[in-house]
Amino acid sequence: MLVHDHIFVTATNTNIGKTYVVEKLIHYYSLFGFSVGVIKPIETGVENRIPADGTKLFEKAKKYNPKLHKLSIDEIVPFQFELPAAPYIASGKIEIDIEKIKTAIKNVKQYCDILLIEGAGGLMVPINKNYFMIDLIKELNYKTLLVAPSYLGSINDTLLSIDKLNNSNVVFDWVINIYQDKDEFEKITKPFYDDYFQEFNIFQNNIIKLANHLIYRKA
């Protein structure tokens, strides 16, 4: 029986691999026999009215879950902005309606067993003037996955993000997405993680384990 049927995917920053991770989770949860849905409540940097990340996720999910064909891309990405900036800036400082995000999530959830929600940027990205991505995560109160990078300098961002989630009482897992400095990770970052953490997961090596933890483990 599922413990968590909503998973919020965030990251230490932008361009860390959230969309890649969500795509893989769509695939594996579908193989597990679940119908999977996706939603990216806010996407910036939208060109020609096509939200690239949201569209990629939507098309991937529809291949496995035909019920999603009843939905439109505007229901998958309810807030779309052209400027490639934080939502607060990209929106022209117009208030982004959090209730509309909640309604959109509830709408998509009708068509799936597990709903994957992809955030924008990192935890302290401003959605509104005094409302950040971490505030949305806390308000939604869903199991969260933090995606961390492998490149030089990532230790600082990763520890700060983990600390923020812990201090916010968010139930979360975290994973390292190895895509930059792949050959250097073993030398420049992993030795510290080996000493500091009792356990940590590299996404490419532990996808099935992580996928199971996210939906079946309470904490």
Cα distance between residue 180 and residue 32, in whole Å? 30
Q: Please tell me the total count of domains within the chain.
A: 1
Structural domain span for residue 92 = 6-216
Instruction: Give the N- to C-terminal CA distance of the chain in Å, as an integer.
Output: 15
Tell me whether residue 1 is in a domain. Answer: no
The CATH number of whichever domain residue 41 belongs to comes to: 3.40.50.300
Residue from 70, 79, 92, 2 nearest 39 by CA: 79
H or E stretch at 37:
strand 36-39
Q: Who's near 73: CB < 8 A, 6+ residues apart? A: 50, 51, 54, 55, 58
Three-state secondary structure string covering 133-147: HHHHHHHHCCEEEEE
Q: What was the pLDDT predicted at 219?
A: 73
Identity of the residue numbered 172: F
Query: Which structure tokens are listed for 184?
Result: 């250097």
Does residue 111 fall inside a structural domain?
Answer: yes
Predicted local confidence at residue 180, as pLDDT: 67
- Active-site residues, by number, are 40
Phi and psi of 128, rounded to 5°?
-125, 180
| 63: in domain | yes
Collapsed DSSP state (helix, strand, coil) of residue 16: coil
Residuewise pLDDT in 10s, the chain (219 residues): 899 999 999 999 999 999 999 999 999 999 999 999 999 999 999 999 999 999 999 999 999 999 999 999 999 999 999 999 999 999 999 999 999 999 999 999 999 999 999 999 999 999 999 999 999 999 999 999 999 999 989 999 999 999 999 999 999 999 999 986 777 899 999 999 999 998 999 999 999 999 999 999 877
| pTM greater than 0.75 | yes
Q: Which residues pair with 150 in a beta bridge?
A: none
